[in-house]
Amino acid sequence: MDIQGKRALVTGASGGIGRACALMLARNGASTVVLADIDEKGLADLAADIGRLGAEALTETVDLSDSAAAIAMYESAEKRSGGLDIIHNNAGIMGGPPDFPDDNIGRMIAATQINLIAMMIGTKMGVDFMRARGVPGVIINTASTAALGPLPKDPAYAASKRGILAYSESCKPLHAEFGIRVVPLCPAVTDTPIVAKDAAWLQPILESIRLLTPEEIAREVRRIIEDDGLSGEAVVVNNEPLAQ
Ligand SMILES: NC(=O)c1ccc[n+]([C@@H]2O[C@H](COP(=O)([O-])OP(=O)(O)OC[C@H]3O[C@@H](n4cnc5c(N)ncnc54)[C@H](O)[C@@H]3O)[C@@H](O)[C@H]2O)c1
């Protein structure tokens, strides 16, 4: 799909990866970018930057841990934009600190709500919108390389990410049937605020790899949108090892 003239929604838009992806969409000619996040100030700053790039920016302040609020936000984004062609379900949180098993159940539930339930809501509603309008579309769900193996210090995060990977992979037939591509994206460690860089367990990892940048992830998102052959299978973006 050519990004030029398309209408897109990015959740978690105020954060590292979402912000870079929203800017990438505007730079590549998206006509409208709906920006959704709980961080209202971050949304306002980003909307000004998107406007300067010549795209229309619409903001949606929302707490995606509240499923009713999530449903209302997707409805509003579809209506206000005039119909979404690209949906990037991206907002997420980690379970700690403190790390498992000292984490708390409320945070575990919130991680599941935001990382899994809200992404499933956004995928299902996006598919409904695109089918109703009879148009092709691309839905990208930010999972993680944490979906691909165990994460002993944050099992709720790994479970939520493996869940959205399974959901997205299961949407593969929608491509042949309706022209709607659902693509799970699995970034490895990326330099954004979600990464607790002072956590002891992360130190050996941080010392051995080069952190990805949000802009590198945005380049992959652009490739996913533009490559009409990609559907259902995970796009994994790995860290390069640092030279010893
Ligand atoms: N940074 C990494 O190493 C990494 C690796 C793999 C996957 N991811 C995933 O990438 C996505 C983006 O994360 P990021 O790295 O940019 O981190 P980030 O913390 O910079 O961005 C996350 C965004 O989600 C928003 N958010 C949090 N709770 C919310 C809520 N209840 N309602 C609405 N918005 C909410 C935050 O305000 C923030 O803007 C997440 O799904 C994350 O799990 C990140």
User: Could you tell me how many helices (H) and strands (E) the chain has, helices first?
Assistant: 9, 9
Residue 109, C-beta contacts closer than 8 angstroms, at least 6 positions apart: none
Range of the domain at 26: 7-236
Residue 218, C-beta contacts closer than 8 angstroms, at least 6 positions apart: 17, 20, 21, 23, 24
> How many domains is the chain built from?
1
Domain membership of residue 194 (yes or no) is yes
- Pocket residues for ligand 1 (CB within 6 Å)? 12, 14-18, 37-39, 42, 62-65, 90-93, 114-115, 142, 144, 187, 189-190, 192-195
Residues 187-227: tens digit of each pLDDT: 999 999 999 999 999 999 999 999 999 999 999 999 999 99
Interval between CA 130 and ligand 1 midpoint (Å) = 25
Between CA 27 and CA 29 the distance in angstroms is 6
Domain membership of residue 145 (yes or no) is yes
Between CA 65 and CA 73 the distance in angstroms is 12
- Distance in Å from the first CA to the final CA of the chain: 41
Domain membership of residue 244 (yes or no) is no
Whether 167 sits among the annotated catalytic residues: the reply is: no
Interval between CA 218 and ligand 1 midpoint (Å) = 14
Domain membership of residue 1 (yes or no) is no
Q: pTM of the predicted model, to two decimals?
A: 0.98
Between CA 149 and CA 151 the distance in angstroms is 7
Domain membership of residue 241 (yes or no) is no
Residues 12-47: tens digit of each pLDDT: 999 999 999 999 999 999 999 999 999 999 999 999
Domain membership of residue 242 (yes or no) is no
The CATH number for 168's domain is 3.40.50.720
Domain membership of residue 2 (yes or no) is no
Tokens 């505007």, residue? 26
